[in-house]
Amino acid sequence: MKALQDRSIRQKITLVIMLISGLVLMLACVSLFAYQAWTIKKRFVSELSVTAEMIASNLAVATMFKDEEKASEILSGLSTMPQIISATVDLADGTRLAHFGNEGDGAGIKTAMQDSALHVDGNRVLLATPVKREGRTYGTLHLHADFHAAYAGLMKLYGGMLGVVLAGSLILTYFLSGRFQHMVTAPILQLADTARQIAEGKDYSVRAKKAGSDEVGTLTDAFNQMLAQIHAQDTALQNAQQKLHEQLAALEREVEERKAAEEALHQSQEKLLETSRLAGKAEVATSVLHNVGNVLNSVNVSGNILSEKLRGSKVTILAKAANLINEHRANFAEFVASDPRGQRVPDLVSKISSALAEEQKELLAEVETITSHIGHIKQIVAMQQSYSRVGGVIEQLTVEDLVGDAIRMNAASMARHNVELRREYEKVPKLQLDRHKVLQILVNLFSNAKHAVDDSGREDKRVTVKIQNNGGHFVKISVEDNGVGIAQENLARIFAHGFTTKKTGHGFGLHSGALAAKEVGGSLYVHSDGPGAGAIFTLELPIVPAAVIAAAN
Amino acid sequence: MVSPATSDSGCHEVARNRRRWSGVVLLILVALLPLSPLQAESEYAVKAAYLYNFVTLIKWPATAHATSTSPVVIGVVGRDPFDGGLENVLSGQKVGSRPLEVRHLRASDIAGLSACHLVFVATTERLPVVAAAVRGAPVAVVGEADNFARGGGMIGFVMKNNKVKLEINRDATQQARLTIPSDLLGIATIVN
């Protein structure tokens, strides 16, 4: 069957026609043959019975008069019929009157003929005919015929004829199918040819020729329609492809541009970060310098006081007294005893000594003050030095200490502006953080709070710092002031780069603070009920550091 | 069994007994016939059967029968050689719609002979007498004497190789207006 599938339509049609014609012809021939065989056999039998009737009639008188010679003579007439093997005439009493043919046959015939007058066994026919005359039966004629030879001969003839007819018909069918199948196959083959052309040439503008309006015609129409559609689609596809190419190129360009932009953005971000870092550092430095400046102011005041004090020192009176003593060195005792001026000298020295003692005490106090201020400066500088180390080092931080450091950096200016600082600390665990970054944020927050309360002009300036444990994961450090507050519209952009409400501000502080908070895995947010209502800045810091969280995930 | 007319004589009694016994023997013989060869069959049994065959085959002119059911009469002239066997063979038989009747006649009984369809002339009788008696009448004259057909009879039984053969005188049968079927003629020897 596989081999058949790969054959051409022409061959298939020929094969199908041949097969069908062959089968039909074969069927017709076989039925004809069978009918012929059946008819022949029937004719043989009927001929045989006619012969038997005739012979029986001829035999009647011979049987009546038991004339063996006459009976034999009549039977011998059967020799002209080669299919009759034997014939026997028996009298009514069973005695054999005459016999013809194969001698051994008689008994067999009789046994076979016991129950019927006709016995057909294949090609062998046994026939019993009563020998009658005037309604009376005188005997029986048994005929034994074998049609095999005649039958075979006839069958051979018919078979041969049928074979010739079959062969002739098939040959005729072959030639006719060759002629007529062209009508069917030509359009199909043409269609197939067109299809092959298109498949090879990829030229969809080719169209198949329509031969008629039968199914193949419909197929051709459909094929052409399909071709038109394919053609259209192909064109559209090509256009789309071209467009796609263009778009792809544009996209690539855009990607390039975006990359460049991203690079630029990255760079500016880097720069910004650097700037903010620097700004942070600057802020810390500013705060340090500010503090140092403040202390130096005090030192200066102390210095002035010292200078004043030293300028107004009683040492001049002591020198006067000394001159007086030197003038009267020869008669000092007399001078002291008799001169009225000399009489005042001991009194004077006593006064000077007590005055100098007083002065020394004062100066010492002032020097102590200066020393204490210088110690403060040393402390500030030392702290600055401790923060000015390279950032990014993660340390164990005690939040209270950190907040304390930040407060200390602003303490001088807060004290100067009479800002009350309140502390509300909860017990919180130690944090693993970049100390510098957190301090930078806090210093900025305190500085802002101080400015806010300062700008409000109120008497009860107050900044409250709270340390809270927020749900076990975060520590909240909030710096609350009762200062100018923040307008609603500014809340949203307060962390934006370059945004500031301060005359001297540069808009870096909160922005870099927010960035730094993000960098350490925390966040910075603000709350204010509006202008004049103060503000709360809250820094949330993770108890478990961001790096550990990231690693855990 | 057709009995003759009543008789008083003892001699007749004895003869009748003897005949009766012969009839029994004949019956036994006939009963044995299917097993015995043709030659062994009693000559007169065969001849009796042949007489029946004749009445079935031969066509009599219409004048020979009174009605369509009147019997076919077979007459035995002279001493009955069948010894009653003829009645045995023929009793109850019919030819068409006609019954068969056997009569025993004398040669002098001209009217009786003429009323027969077939007469069997025993060898005891003289043929010319019988022939003269039935001349002109449609009566088949059958006999067994030598040259019976040739000598004025119509159908003669001839023994040949122990078999009963026929001789037919066609002239005589034609004169008697009897129609003999050709196949019957075919198995017989035609004499004139």
Q: What is the DSSP letter of A321?
A: H
Which of B29, B32, B53, B189 is the best mutation test for A, with the most CBs of A within 10 A?
B53
At residue A181, the pLDDT reads: 79
At residue B1, the pLDDT reads: 40
Count of structural domains within chain B:
1
Does domain A390-552 fall into CATH 3.30.565.10? yes
Contact B50, B74 (CB under 8 A): no
Chain A positions in Cβ-Cβ contact with residue B50 (cut-off 8 Å): 64-65
pLDDT-wise least confident of A14-28, A64-78, A372-386: A372-386
The predicted model gives A505-519 an average pLDDT of 76
Q: Note the pLDDT tens digit of each residue in A243-290.
A: 999 999 999 999 999 899 888 888 887 787 777 667 766 777 777 777
Query: Domain ranges in chain A?
Result: 2-175, 390-552
Chain B positions in Cβ-Cβ contact with residue A93 (cut-off 8 Å): 33-34
Higher pLDDT, B174 or A437: B174
Contact A450, A425 (CB under 8 A): no
A207: Cβ–Cβ under 8 A, 6 or more apart, which residues?
A194, A224, A227
- Please tell me if residue A73 touches chain B, with a CB cutoff of 8 Å: no
Is B23 a member of any domain? Answer: yes
At residue A243, the pLDDT reads: 92
At residue A241, the pLDDT reads: 92
Nearest chain A Cα distance for residue B59, angstroms: 12
- Please tell me if residue A392 touches chain B, with a CB cutoff of 8 Å: no
Nearest chain A residue to B39 by CA distance is A66
At residue B40, the pLDDT reads: 43
Q: Distance (Å, rounded) from C-alpha B113 to C-alpha B106? A: 8
pLDDT band, very low/low/confident/very high, at A504 (cuts 50, 70, 90): low
Is B182 a member of any domain? Answer: yes
Cα dihedral sign, A369-A372-A374-A376: negative
User: Is A65–B50 a contact, with Cβ atoms under 8 angstroms apart?
Assistant: yes
Residues above pLDDT 90, as percent of chain A:
7
A207: helix, strand or coil: coil
The domain spanning residue B54 has which CATH number?
3.40.50.2300
- Please tell me if residue B38 touches chain A, with a CB cutoff of 8 Å: yes
pLDDT band, very low/low/confident/very high, at A430 (cuts 50, 70, 90): confident
pLDDT of residue A372 exceeding 70, the answer is yes
Same fold, A2-175 and A390-552: no
Q: Note the pLDDT tens digit of each residue in A527-550.
A: 988 888 889 999 998 887 555 555
Mean pLDDT for all residues in chain A: 82
pLDDT-wise least confident of A40-54, A269-283, A429-443: A269-283
- B-proximal residues of A, 128-147, CB under 8 Å: 133-136
* Block mean pLDDT (10 aa), chain B, length 192: 42 57 57 44 85 91 87 90 85 86 89 91 88 89 90 90 90 91 90 84
**Structure-block tokens of residue B109:** 């009984």
Nearest chain A Cα distance for residue B154, angstroms: 17
User: Is A65–B166 a contact, with Cβ atoms under 8 angstroms apart?
Assistant: yes
Contact B76, B51 (CB under 8 A): no
B170 is in which domain, residue-wise?
A: 10-191
Looking at the DSSP bridge assignments, the partners of residue A513 are none
Neighbouring C-beta atoms of residue A105, cutoff 10 Å? 18
Neighbouring C-beta atoms of residue A99, cutoff 10 Å? 19
pLDDT of residue A457 exceeding 50, the answer is yes
Considering only CB atoms, A134 lies closest to which of B56, B166, B187, namely B56
User: Counting Cβ atoms within 10 Å, is residue A468 exposed (0-12), middle (13-18) or buried (19+)?
Assistant: middle
Chain B positions in Cβ-Cβ contact with residue A136 (cut-off 8 Å): 56
- Its CATH architecture, for the domain A2-175, is 2-Layer Sandwich (3.30)
User: Is A133–B46 a contact, with Cβ atoms under 8 angstroms apart?
Assistant: no
Query: Phi/psi at A163 (nearest 5 deg)?
Result: -60, -45
Q: In sequence order, what DSSP letters do the residues of A430-492 get, joined into one string?
A: -EEEEHHHHHHHHHHHHHHHHHHHHHHT-SS-EEEEEEEEETTTEEEEEEEE-SS---HHHHT
Neighbouring C-beta atoms of residue B119, cutoff 10 Å? 30
Which of A317-321, A381-385, A496-500 has the highest average model confidence (pLDDT)?
A317-321
Which of A66, A68, A97 is the best mutation test for B, with the most CBs of B within 10 A?
A66
Residue tagged 């006081």 (tokens): A305
Q: Distance (Å, rounded) from C-alpha A181 to C-alpha A516? A: 91
Which of B142, B183, B185 is the best mutation test for A, with the most CBs of A within 10 A?
B183
Neighbouring C-beta atoms of residue A328, cutoff 10 Å? 17
Buried b / exposed e along B22-36 (16+ C-beta atoms within 10 A): ebeebeeebeebeee
Is B183 a member of any domain? Answer: yes
What angle, rounded to 10 degrees, do the helices at A399-416 and A215-311 form? 60
- Please tell me if residue B10 touches chain A, with a CB cutoff of 8 Å: no
Neighbouring C-beta atoms of residue A409, cutoff 10 Å? 25
The predicted model gives A197-224 an average pLDDT of 84
- Please tell me if residue B43 touches chain A, with a CB cutoff of 8 Å: no
At residue A450, the pLDDT reads: 86
Nearest chain B residue to A58 by CA distance is B183
Nearest chain A Cα distance for residue B83, angstroms: 21
User: Is B57–A133 a contact, with Cβ atoms under 8 angstroms apart?
Assistant: yes
Chain A positions in Cβ-Cβ contact with residue B57 (cut-off 8 Å): 61, 64, 133-134
Residues above pLDDT 70, as percent of chain A:
90
- Please tell me if residue B158 touches chain A, with a CB cutoff of 8 Å: no
Nearest to A32 by CA among A166, A168, A170: A166
The predicted model gives A115-143 an average pLDDT of 82
Q: Distance (Å, rounded) from C-alpha A159 to C-alpha A162? A: 5
Chain A positions in Cβ-Cβ contact with residue B53 (cut-off 8 Å): 61, 64-65
pLDDT-wise least confident of A294-303, A501-510, B52-61: A501-510
Is B61 a member of any domain? Answer: yes
Residue tagged 């300036």 (tokens): A461
Is B126 a member of any domain? Answer: yes
- CA B173, chain centre distance (Å): 15
Beta-carbon contacts below 8 Å between A and B: 42
Q: Distance (Å, rounded) from C-alpha A296 to C-alpha A7? A: 113
Nearest chain B residue to A94 by CA distance is B34
Query: Phi/psi at A493 (nearest 5 deg)?
Result: -110, 15
Nearest chain B Cα distance for residue A133, angstroms: 8
Nearest chain B Cα distance for residue A50, angstroms: 19
Please report the beta strands in A212-326, taking only residues with DSSP state E, as ranges in sequence order: none
pLDDT of residue A384 exceeding 80, the answer is no
pLDDT band, very low/low/confident/very high, at A503 (cuts 50, 70, 90): low
pLDDT of residue A553 exceeding 60, the answer is no
Which of A57, A59, A65, A96 is the best mutation test for B, with the most CBs of B within 10 A?
A65
Is B2 a member of any domain? Answer: no
User: Is B187–A70 a contact, with Cβ atoms under 8 angstroms apart?
Assistant: yes
Nearest to B90 by CA among B105, B102, B77, B98: B102
User: Is A95–B95 a contact, with Cβ atoms under 8 angstroms apart?
Assistant: no
Which of B30, B58, B89, B187 is the best mutation test for A, with the most CBs of A within 10 A?
B187
